[in-house]
Chains A and B, each alone.
Chain A
Amino acid sequence: MLVLSRKTGEALAIGDDVIVEVVLIDGDRVRLGIHAPKDTRIFRRELLEETAIANRSAANAPKISFEQE
């Protein structure tokens, strides 16, 4: 893994199309600004992990019947 140090207002480029800028550092939180092509989805990594957990949980559904409820 590549590890870089950046200050507020500094940025880094990923390939030709993506720029990630450090907008604000506040304690252990960092606000990032991301410039990327519109067709690039950007999401917090937790979303992938939580969706994987949700999908696995969904596969353990109990018996379900809505009839005559």
Chain B
Amino acid sequence: MLIETARFGDFELNESKLIEFPSGIPGFEELKSFIILEINETKPLYWLQSTQNKHISLPVIIPFELLDDYYIEIRENELEGLHIKDKNDLLILNVVVVPEKLPEMTANLAAPIIVNLKDGLGKQLLIDAAELPIKYPIYDAIIKKLQGGASDVGAI
């Protein structure tokens, strides 16, 4: 199918890459379908791109790539809600707010997006815990990661 994005242009993508968010995500409750884009230029930031509104793409991180001690408890009913039977099908993302000054970017650790990659289902959880800030400064961890390696463009 043709995916249109304002930020990255249009491209063909296999429909199996679509991720359905039955409840949308807070702030975008009306958007139910996304894809996760991996763009070489912005790695380790990925993009949660709406397939319904080409202008909506949210930078996200995979916390386990950047944060050694990120820990969340996902409840059985939440896994069941996404039909996750095998933990290997689970992907966790955090939305990143990127202001004009890149070093001020923050990741929302309190609201992880959990995705069943196999069945293409996603949900944003809200976890009220002192150790999970909504605005966690993430720039330093990204720069540290970049001093590692690189690869090419694709989709998860």
Residues on A facing B (Cβ under 8 Å)? 38-39, 41-44, 47-48, 50-59, 61-62, 64-67, 69
Contact = CB atoms under 8 A, between A and B. Distances in A.
Q: Would you list the 8 A-B pairs with minimal beta carbon distance, nearest first? A: A43-B128, A52-B27, A55-B27, A52-B26, A39-B77, A61-B98, A51-B111, A58-B58
15 contacts: A39-B75, A41-B125, A43-B127, A43-B128, A44-B128, A54-B27, A55-B95, A55-B108, A57-B97, A58-B58, A58-B95, A61-B98, A66-B41, A66-B142, A67-B41
Interface centre among B98, B124, B143 (most CB of A within 10 A): B98
Q: Specify the main secondary structure of chain A where it touches its partner.
A: loop
A8 to B, nearest CB: 23
Interface in B1-48: 25-28, 40-43, 45
B152 interface: no
A16 B115 CA distance: 31
Contact of B96 (A41, A47, A58, A62): A58
A61 B8 CA distance: 13
A69 B128 contact: no
Interface of B: 25-28, 40-43, 45, 55-59, 75-78, 95-100, 102, 106, 108, 110-111, 124-128, 134-135, 142-143, 146
B97 to A, nearest CB: 5
Contact of B42 (A43, A56, A57, A64): A64
Contacts of B126: 41, 43, 47-48, 51
Nearest to B39: A64
Contacts of A51: 26-27, 95, 108, 110-111, 124, 126, 134
Given A41-B125, A43-B126, A66-B41, A59 B56 contact: yes
Nearest to B129: A43
Contacts of A69: 143, 146
A69 B97 CA distance: 20
A14 B49 CA distance: 38
